[in-house]
Amino acid sequence: MPEATRIDPRTRIGHVHLKVADLDRALGFYCGVLGFELMQKMGDQAAFISAGGYHHHIGLNTWESAGGKPPPPGTTGLYHVAILYPSRPALADALRRLIAAGIPLQGASDHGVSEALYLSDPDGNGVELYRDRPESEWPRDAKGALSMVTRRLDLEGLLREPVI
């Protein structure tokens, strides 16, 4: 692909908006369990939450979904939102929070480049909580191309990480 057609490599995904059925229930999960900070709430229709005081990483709204049900399997839509944690101990903290809240995992994978926990929020939205390994540790094939894998994540090992 010619360089001129590629997106600027400094581009980042800044935030995501999720349709939810019950705003307070969603805030209970994202703020109460995962630990995001409520930045602004617009009545019972929308809320903006972040990590570290940013204006918002996640928008939650009921504008088109108040009282709604998750989309049925086999339909299009968001597969999951991925939340990047800065370190392995921070990901371990997220796992401990999920366990304490009784929220089940749907999967846990070591992808070689990252370690990931998979679950659903109370509205059935897919959520990936993950941490990236340093690029120097990414698996590569004999030609140097990235060679991602999907292996079982050692959850017990993750839980042995120091408490932050």
Q: Quick one: pLDDT at residue 54? A: 93
CATH number of residue 89's parent domain: 3.10.180.10
10-residue stretch averages of pLDDT, the chain, 164 residues long? 75 92 98 98 96 95 95 91 96 97 98 97 96 96 95 98 92
Using the 3D structure, point to which of 41, 64, 87 is the last residue of a domain: 64
Domain assignment of residue 32, given as a range = 16-64
pTM: 0.91
CA distance 38 to 51: 9
- For residue 99, give both structure tokens: 């366990």
Q: Quick one: pLDDT at residue 1? A: 46
Domain-located, residue 10: no
Q: Are residues 25 and 94 in the same domain?
A: no
CA distance 56 to 74: 30
